[in-house]
Structure 1
Amino acid sequence: MAWWQWLLDIAGALLLLLVAYGLALVVRRRLIARDGGTFELSHRLAPSDDGRGWVLGLGRYSGETLEWFRIFSLAPRPKRRWPRESLAYDGRREAFGTEQMSLYPDHVVIHCQTASGEVELAMSAASLTGFQSWLEARPPGVDWDR
């Protein structure tokens, strides 16, 4: 077989793998969203002053837990989970500098406190309204003054 035929075979195999990966991402997103309550949610993995460290993802409310999935991962399980009782909303701000390029358009950055420290998330204003409602809808007997 000639070298150019090998090259065509390799290019075809790579194209097939790329299409399979894209299809797997679509199927995964459909499976995550089948229970409802999903929205675009970015998470800052490595806090820094220059706006770096953001990873695009999907958020899903699952009972008393907010789950976060990386957008380009094939993992069926969430990468991060935050129980509702451990989240405390601290405020919001607009994305600035390089964050505007890293995040979805028109997303705001919110700060939350957890038992393990500060968490930065980014979501749309409509999703923020839903997030605040979800936080306030804690079951009876929860210490609201915490």
Structure 2
Amino acid sequence: MHTFDVIVVCTAVVFLLAFAAILARQRYMLKSTGALPMALQRGQRWLYGIGRYQDGELRFYRALGWGTRPTRVLRRGRVEVVGRRAPVPAESRSLPPTTVIVQCRTDGETMSFAIGESAFTGFLSWLESSAPR
């Protein structure tokens, strides 16, 4: 075996191990209590990931990534739901048809995220269970 072949094989093994580690992280996070699949809108793109309810916060972790810190944190009591809608035809290619797109305002910023219908009901319950402001 030539040196170049060894380098190619080692590189492929490293990429496969990294991919396996990312998938294992996803599976682990989705099995934890209070986790749900969701997507966060950034401009015209949807970032897929995992939302996790923890300590009065909904934390969003990107699906593909190494980071252990959330990409986005919504603090209960600071979130106001502005509206909800179904995906528009352009979004239907990247989101399931049963998705609910939630538009909310938090800390002066408006944002949108996509979750399933039952997860939306859970999200509203989570918001309503916050202490009065």
Same-fold call, TM cutoff 0.5? yes
Long gaps (5+) in structure 2? none
Once the two structures are superposed, residues 34-84 of structure 1 have per-residue CA deviations (whole angstroms, 9 ceiling, x without a partner) of 6410001100122xxxxx221111100012111000000111111111101
Q: Give the CA deviation at 1:99.
A: 1.5
Distance of 1:72 and 1:104 partners within structure 2:
19
Aligned Cα root-mean-square deviation (Å): 1.9
- Per the alignment, residue 18 of structure 1 pairs with 15
TM-score when normalising by structure 1:
0.81
What does residue 70 of structure 2 align with?
78
Q: Scaled by the length of structure 2, what TM-score is found?
A: 0.88
Cα deviation digits, residues 9-36 of structure 1 (max 9, x gap)? 2331232122211221133224534641
User: Residues 82-93 of structure 1 correspond to what in structure 2 (within 5 A)?
Assistant: 82-93=74-85
Q: How many residues align?
A: 133
Of Structure 1 and Structure 2, the greater strand share is in 2
Displacement, 1:125? Answer: 0.4
**Where does 1:3-14 land on structure 2 (aligned, <5 Å)?**
5-14=2-11
Structure 1 unmatched runs, 5+: 47-51
* 1:112 and 2:104 are equivalent in the alignment: yes
Give the share of equivalent positions with the same residue, in percent. 26
Larger Rg, first or second structure (1 or 2): 1
**C-alpha displacement at 1:132, in angstroms?**
0.6
Which of the numbers 36, 39, 43 marks the counterpart of 2:36? 39
Stretch moving more, 77-86 or 95-104:
95-104
